[in-house]
Amino acid sequence: MSARRVERALARLAQPNAVLAQERDGASYGVFVGNDRRRRPVVRLSAVEVRSLEAEGAITADSDGGYALTSAGASRVRREAAEVGEAFVAQHAPIVARMVMNGGRPITVRGHERNPALKRIAALRDANGAPWLTSVELAAAAQLRGDWELGQAGMVRGSDWSAAPQGSAARGPGNAREGAMVAQTDARRRVAEALEALAPPLRRVVERVCLYEEGLEALEHAEGWPARSGKIALKLGLAQLAAR
């Protein structure tokens, strides 16, 4: 068993629409990009390696006769790809470098990427390679995610609760806290109303993919749906949100 080949296969399987499936000879398994099993696999694994990965919880069988990466498998891929000292943090979400202001000057810091779920669904493509979701559908997903994060955080980003009152009628920190509570309540209400407007199957897809960052393949397996049906349900759900 080659540990390096196994980790390479998992990394390839983390790409959108990739699948691990048995080859025609029945003796080995391959990772097929874009779920196109007519082409040569990018990585091959033995049956023993596949069974080992399934026992470890890194992959799970899907309804199309192949295997998809689980959330535990995705965490494993991020750990393996992380830089030294970042493996534990990277398993929860991708680590990226970005510029921030520090004392009036830009510096580079490393931390979690914002909205990885939205980036992942924006990368979905149709059979011709065109974007699967429209800009309007992506905007609906971003609005829902933003409201959800605000409702979870319980505060308005950028608020300075220690600032002095801006007028004789202002109440300083107390006024800021009240405003944050109102913003949190409004955000939670908008999320609840948006999700309640969807049919239960569409709600589950939108909620689990856009908010809880679950992969489409894992969702299809949990729901007992055919392969690629989650992708269609996600588009329908986001189209309904955009039309509200």
Q: pLDDT of 156-191, one tens digit each? A: 334 443 444 444 444 444 555 676 678 888 888 999
- Which is higher by pLDDT, 177 or 151? 151
pLDDT digits (tens, 9 = 90+) for 225-234: 898 899 999 9
- Model pLDDT for residues 38-54, shown as the tens digit of each residue: 788 889 999 999 999 99
Map out the domains of the chain as residue ranges: 3-75, 82-112, 116-243
pTM (predicted TM-score): 0.49
User: CA dist 237 to 133, 146, 152, 188, Å?
Assistant: 11, 17, 22, 19
Element (H, E) at 66: strand 66-69
The DSSP call for residue 103 is: T
Residues contacting residue 47 through CB under 8 Å, at least 6 positions apart? 27, 28, 29
CB of 49 closer than 8 Å to CB of 31: no
209 vs 24: which has the higher pLDDT? 209
**What pLDDT does 83 receive?**
63
Has residue 154 got a pLDDT over 70? Answer: no
Residue 47: how many other CB atoms lie within 10 Å: 12
| pLDDT computed for residue 192 by the predictor | 93
Q: Token match 């039309």: residue? A: 243
- Tens digits of per-residue pLDDT, 102-114? 554 555 555 555 5
Q: Are 198 and 232 in contact (CB under 8 A)?
A: no
